Chain A
């Protein structure tokens, strides 16, 4: 009797396993037809970064995906928490589109032209590539000598070399060498954009190596908070990854561009698309357009 019961149980499990396999097989066959060689008509796989990422913030803002304060990125977009996973996803999926910082670009994926402009260092320097953003340092009404000297260092040949080594694009082609002044000491507090902070940290380390008696403290609070702190005088130097707004300029702060950062829109190498307009990119990332 007992054996029978167990037999029945096992039969049931086997039956459900079989049913499940069939469901798997059916979904597999059903989808197979869309997998043609021709790109057109294939569903687009949108790859985005996570909420709060600086790259996502800049990209959604520059492409108009952000309307007001609302990020309209399609909820169907795949989310990757690092640049390398975005690249691995796009390089392995013919229908994927994503975006990464230009500094991370390599041969595994293809960067497309945006509004007909190729994402190159020259085009970003010339200001014609639309998906680029400036890195600014922001100074208030009163700037002490030490902070001025630090800015001079950032804009010097040494400073701009560090910026290029970090993968950003320097803004001065023929910067003068930094003139070391003796006897500098004190503390500089820097606050603002989390995107600028990594390169700022490297600049600060190099500056401290030249001027050992200077302390530099860097807080990552985001561009807006950094500019506000500069206006209030809470920090000596603000960092921003966007241009200053008119109302901020009216409050007496000045911005100086120390570097440029470009965001490359990337697709799979097999994708035949070479060129998209900003409007097309916006439609893809908001989910209005879902097929190539």
Chain B
């Protein structure tokens, strides 16, 4: 009886363990199987560097979308990382425990808000503000970046905070003993030691930002053109897929899946650099 239950449970665990690997393999297979023929048909160069996206007229250039994804993500990092990092430093080293008890759940809650809610928040709050300040439509790189910066905050804050807390207390104490103030010790002894952990948080944030779909498609404007300013509208790769998937047929549909392939490659690069950073940490 014991052996039987032992074996059953072993099987259950093995199955559970393989589910995620199996899912990744199936997704890869589906993406590449459906996406590659389209890339071949359109032509790799025409697809990746073409600047005109007119699917109904047979022009499939996703370069504006690649640029759009990179711009929006970069904007989110520029705004989000300093705020997130300082927030993590505050929470780990400066925060009275009473405030921490409120702040920690608040940051966690930020991570749990569905992206569509962020999208509507941005559409109703950030877009009108940008609109009033700049006199443009308000939808574009700036609004999308601000929204994404808020969305990646919890990732950056929690990973950075853990990294800062993981630094041995002796670094900080040693710095104090040498006569440095509390602030100096935190910023010049503890923080540099947590560098690779913080970088890992930033990379995870990049991954979240570049993969965000629904919320971005609501505030980015979605024009498939190369942006000429920070206020110009952009379409990201994710938005391109979600916006047109509903009606697309034939090569158009395959081109959207091929867009997802390109996005997948980006995510792959981000994840590999994340593991490299983690390895460097040890």
Q: Is A183 an interface residue (CB 8 A)?
A: no
Q: Is B123 an interface residue (CB 8 A)?
A: yes
**Chain B residues whose CB sits within 8 angstroms of the CB of A79 once the complex forms:** 221-224, 235, 243
**Chain A residues whose CB sits within 8 angstroms of the CB of B261 once the complex forms:** none
- Which of B123, B230, B243, B247 meets A27, CB within 8 Å? B230
Whether B135 lies near A93 (C-beta < 8 A) is: no
Whether B133 lies near A31 (C-beta < 8 A) is: yes
Q: Is A85 an interface residue (CB 8 A)?
A: yes
Q: Which of A1-29 contact B (CB under 8 A)?
A: 3, 6-7, 10, 17, 20, 23-24, 27-28
Q: Closest chain B residue to A71 by CB distance?
A: B56
Q: Which of A72-97 contact B (CB under 8 A)?
A: 75-81, 85, 88-89, 92-93, 95-96
Q: Is B28 an interface residue (CB 8 A)?
A: no
Q: Which of A121-180 contact B (CB under 8 A)?
A: none
Q: Which of A206-256 contact B (CB under 8 A)?
A: none
CA A92 to CA B226, docked complex, whole Å: 25
> Given A31-B231, A93-B131, A93-B138, does the pair A52, B246 have CB atoms closer than 8 Å?
yes
**Chain A residues whose CB sits within 8 angstroms of the CB of B55 once the complex forms:** 51-52
Q: List 17 A-B contacts (CB under 8 A).
A: A17-B82, A24-B142, A27-B230, A32-B134, A33-B135, A43-B136, A50-B246, A52-B252, A76-B233, A77-B223, A78-B221, A79-B235, A79-B243, A81-B243, A85-B218, A92-B128, A93-B127
CA A31 to CA B130, docked complex, whole Å: 10
**Chain A residues whose CB sits within 8 angstroms of the CB of B187 once the complex forms:** 10
CB distance from A187 to the nearest CB of B (A): 25
**Chain B residues whose CB sits within 8 angstroms of the CB of A194 once the complex forms:** 247
Q: Is B37 an interface residue (CB 8 A)?
A: no
Whether B137 lies near A93 (C-beta < 8 A) is: yes
Q: Mark B30-62, 1 if CB is under 8 A from A, else 0.
A: 000000000000000000000000111100000
Q: Mark A40-77, 1 if CB is under 8 A from B, else 0.
A: 00110100001111100000000000000111000111
> Given A6-B192, A52-B248, does the pair A28, B222 have CB atoms closer than 8 Å?
no
> Given A27-B229, A89-B139, A92-B128, does the pair A53, B223 have CB atoms closer than 8 Å?
no
CA A20 to CA B225, docked complex, whole Å: 24
Whether A96 lies near B137 (C-beta < 8 A) is: yes
Q: Mark B118-135, 1 if CB is under 8 A from A, else 0.
A: 000001100110011111
CA A96 to CA B128, docked complex, whole Å: 12
CA A42 to CA B218, docked complex, whole Å: 23
CA A53 to CA B60, docked complex, whole Å: 18
Q: Is B183 an interface residue (CB 8 A)?
A: no
> Given A52-B55, A52-B252, does the pair A78, B135 have CB atoms closer than 8 Å?
no
Q: Is A34 an interface residue (CB 8 A)?
A: yes
> Given A17-B82, A31-B134, A45-B137, does the pair A51, B54 have CB atoms closer than 8 Å?
yes
CA A175 to CA B247, docked complex, whole Å: 34
Q: Is A35 an interface residue (CB 8 A)?
A: yes
**Chain B residues whose CB sits within 8 angstroms of the CB of A17 once the complex forms:** 82
CB distance from B73 to the nearest CB of A (A): 16
- Which of A31, A33, A88 meets B136, CB within 8 Å? A31
Q: Closest chain A residue to B224 by CB distance?
A: A75
**Chain B residues whose CB sits within 8 angstroms of the CB of A3 once the complex forms:** 188
CA A205 to CA B230, docked complex, whole Å: 50
CB distance from A286 to the nearest CB of B (A): 14
- Which of B192, B217, B225 meets A81, CB within 8 Å? B217
Q: Closest chain A residue to B244 by CB distance?
A: A50
**Chain B residues whose CB sits within 8 angstroms of the CB of A70 once the complex forms:** 57
Whether B123 lies near A75 (C-beta < 8 A) is: no
Ranked nearest first, the 6 interchain pairs of A and B with the lowest CB-CB distance are A52-B247, A31-B134, A79-B222, A45-B137, A34-B135, A35-B135
- Which of A7, A31, A32, A78 meets B233, CB within 8 Å? A78
**Chain B residues whose CB sits within 8 angstroms of the CB of A35 once the complex forms:** 132, 134-135
Whether B127 lies near A71 (C-beta < 8 A) is: no
> Given A6-B192, A71-B54, A93-B131, does the pair A81, B246 have CB atoms closer than 8 Å?
yes
Chain B CB within 10 A, most for which of A10, A51, A93: A51
Whether B137 lies near A78 (C-beta < 8 A) is: yes
CB distance from B52 to the nearest CB of A (A): 8
CB distance from A21 to the nearest CB of B (A): 10
CB distance from A287 to the nearest CB of B (A): 11
**Chain A residues whose CB sits within 8 angstroms of the CB of B134 once the complex forms:** 27-28, 31-32, 35
Whether A6 lies near B231 (C-beta < 8 A) is: no
CA A17 to CA B137, docked complex, whole Å: 26
Q: Is B95 an interface residue (CB 8 A)?
A: no
Q: Is B24 an interface residue (CB 8 A)?
A: no
- Which of B135, B139, B247 meets A31, CB within 8 Å? B135
Whether B246 lies near A75 (C-beta < 8 A) is: no
> Given A32-B133, A92-B123, does the pair A52, B223 have CB atoms closer than 8 Å?
no
Q: Is B242 an interface residue (CB 8 A)?
A: yes
